[in-house]
């Protein structure tokens, strides 16, 4: 137990990612879908940080930083959209928002 193997960390990241994915697929509420997406992004960040640690390079953390910034931007726009959707459609059910269908 004293050593952490590289693929253990990656499997943890994969589990988190898959959990987030299951959340996105299952939930119908947009807020929950966004939460799940945050989890997936975070799992990817974990994989990057692990890789950076494994090779003793700062690049992993740099990538994590970029993911972080991207997540921040995405969340701000997405939450603005959520506000607007609730305002105009009076619902957060993603299955109701099908106006872009063919």
Partner 1 sequence: MQQYLYLIPVLPLLGFLVLSMAGKHLSRNFIAGIGAGSICTSALIALIISAGFLQSPPETGAYTQVLWHWFLTGHLSADVSLRMDALSLVFICIITFIGALIHIYSIAFMREDRDYARFFASMNLFVCAMLTLVMADNLVLMYLGWEGVGLCSYLLIGFWYETPANYRAANKAFVITRIGDTAMIIGLFLLFKELGTLYIPDILAKAPQQFGSGSTTITLIALLLLSGGIGKSAQLPLQTWLPDAMAGPSPVSALIHAATMVTAGVYLIARMHTLFELSPIAMQVTAIIGAVTLFIAGCSAMVQTDIKRVLAYSTISQIGYMFLALGVGAWSAAIFHFFTHAFFKALLFLAAGAVIETLHHEHDIFKMGGLRKKMPVIFYTFTIGAAALAALPLITAGFFSKDQILWYAWSANGGHPVLWTLALLGAFITAFYSTRLILVVFWGDMKTTPGHLPGPAMVVPLVILAFFSIAVGWIEWPHNLLHVSLFSEIVQQALPATTLKSNLPPEIVFQLIAVGVSLLGIYTGYVLYYGQSELLMRWKQSEGLMSVRHFLFKGWKFDQLYDILLVRPFLFITRINKSDVSDKLYTAIADANLHLNKLFSISQNGSLRWYVTGVLIGILFIITLQLLL
Partner 2 sequence: MSLVFYISSFIAILSTIMVITRYQPIHALLYLVVSFLALAVTFLSLGAPFAAALQVIVYAGAIVVLFIFVVMMLNLGKQTAQQEKEWLQLRAWLGPSILSLVLLAEMAVLLLQDAPEAMPATVVTPKQVSLSLYGEYIIAVELVGFLLMTGIVGAAHIGKHKKKSLHRFLQTYPNLN
14 or 63: whose CB is closer to partner 1?
14
Q: Is 61 in the site for partner 2 (CB under 8 A)?
A: yes
- DSSP code, position 99: T
Q: Is 96 in the site for partner 2 (CB under 8 A)?
A: no
The footprint of partner 1 (CB under 8 A) covers 21, 24-25, 28, 33, 94-95, 97-102
Residue 29 phi/psi, 5° resolution? -80, 130
1 or 100: whose CB is closer to partner 1?
100
Cα separations in angstroms, 19 against 23, 38, 40, 45: 6, 11, 8, 15
Which of partner 1, partner 2, none does residue 89 bind to, with CB < 5 to 8 Å depending on kind? none
Q: Which of 37, 66, 97, 102 binds partner 2 (CB under 8 A)?
A: 66
Quote the least distance from Cβ 100 to partner 1, whole Å: 5
Phi-psi category of 34—alpha, beta or left, where left has phi over 0 and alpha has psi -120 to 50? Answer: alpha
- DSSP code, position 1: -
1 or 102: whose CB is closer to partner 2?
1
Residue 3 phi/psi, 5° resolution? -110, 140
């Amino acid at each position: 137990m004293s050593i952490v193997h590289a693929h253990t960390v990656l499997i943890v990241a994969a589990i988190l990612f898959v959990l987030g994915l299951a959340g996105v697929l299952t939930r119908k509420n947009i807020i929950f879908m966004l939460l799940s997406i945050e989890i997936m992004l975070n799992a990817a960040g974990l994989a990057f940080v692990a890789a950076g640690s494994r090779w003793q390079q700062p690049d992993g953390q740099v990538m994590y930083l970029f993911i972080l910034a991207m997540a921040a931007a995405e969340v701000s726009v997405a939450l603005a959209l959520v506000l607007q959707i609730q305002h105009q459609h009076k619902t957060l059910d993603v299955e109701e928002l099908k106006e872009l269908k063919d």
